[in-house]
Amino acid sequence: MEKNAKIYVAGHRGMVGSALVRRLKLEGYHNLVVRTSQELDLRKQVDVAAFFETEKPEYVLLAAAKVGGIQANNTYPADFLLDNLQLQTNVIEQSHQHSVRKLLFLGSSCVYPKMCPQPIREEYLLTSPLEPTNEAYAIAKIAGIKLCEYFRKQHGCDYISAMPTNLYGPGDNYDLANSHVLPAMLRKFHEAKMNGQPEVVIWGSGTPRREFLHVDDLAIACLHLLDNYSAPAPINVGTGEDLTILELAELVRNVTGYTGNIQLDATKPDGTPRKLLDVSRLRALGWEHHIDLREGIARVYQESFGTVSSVA
């Protein structure tokens, strides 16, 4: 992309969108277009059309989404499906109507089947049933992937889709009811340390394996893909490394300096047994992650809770 290209970052106040804005500015892109959800409700087709008619962006980074953890997805499945379908469809359609040069759609690793082989290759999409606890969100994201693919097929649009693994970093959601596992753990262990609690309860059996990528690494990967990737298939973005939930809890305990016990609540859902992405296609394009998980968690802990980590 040219440094003066007009770039619309949808969802710029979210964790992913804000990381994209930071990275774009750092690399010298200065003609960025952003709108808050109060200024532009992406679920409203007429408003999105008016925005594109006025701004006419050359590039679109579609990071806007309604997101949440297992409990939120279980509680509000209709909202997760409808809101995400509406907002992504409106942005993708108007990108075509106004001749956007390139669009990057951000999906999620949860689009892949619950029990597919590991590590997860891009071609495993739609080969078997989804994980029920986040099925609504996954279906919406799959629709976005396919819409980009079909606009490319029917109209020749240069639309690409990236599937990030589990993300963490600045701007994460630390609400215990609606957050993802890593930020929820950070808050739990921090509050347990501050309050002198003897134990921290972790959902599930502790055996599921998860992969985590710092959102600043994702932002770098997205810009790399915009310059180096153009194909109908989605492409995975991750580290190629994973660990168990219990191992993650022990790592967070160490980072926060908590000295109490970890208690597993096996009555709570585990979710997918394992989600490790095969990132060989991305590595073949010349990109790998740089931020180690331990280093990244320590950095996020200091940034979010104003506490110096016990981990260098």
Dihedral, 230, 30, 54, 85 alpha carbons, nearest 10 = 50
* CATH code for the domain in which residue 113 is found: 3.40.50.720
Whether 137 is catalytic is: yes
In-domain check, residue 256: no
In-domain check, residue 248: no
Geometric angle at alpha carbon 119, from 230 and 92, rounded to 5°: 35
In-domain check, residue 100: yes
Give the model's pLDDT for residue 307: 61
Give the model's pLDDT for residue 173: 84
This prediction has a pTM of: 0.94
Residues placed in the known binding site for NADP(+): 11-17, 106-109, 141, 164-167, 180
Give the model's pLDDT for residue 271: 76
Domain total in the chain: 1
In-domain check, residue 273: no
In-domain check, residue 135: yes
Residues placed in the known binding site for substrate: 188, 203, 210, 270
In-domain check, residue 110: yes
Domain that holds residue 92: 7-168+212-237
Q: What is the mean pLDDT of each run of 10 residues along the chain (312 residues)?
A: 97 97 98 98 98 98 89 90 98 98 96 94 97 93 98 98 96 80 94 97 94 98 98 98 98 97 92 90 98 97 74 36
Give the model's pLDDT for residue 312: 34
In-domain check, residue 69: yes
Cβ atoms 229, 159 nearer than 8 A: no
In-domain check, residue 280: no
With b meaning 16 or more CB within 10 Å and e meaning fewer, what string describes 120-153? bbbebbeeeebbebbbbbbbbbbbbbebbbebbe
With b meaning 16 or more CB within 10 Å and e meaning fewer, what string describes 253-285? bbbbebeeebebeeeeebbbebbbbbbebbeee
Q: Which of 137, 159, 229, 301 is catalytic?
A: 137
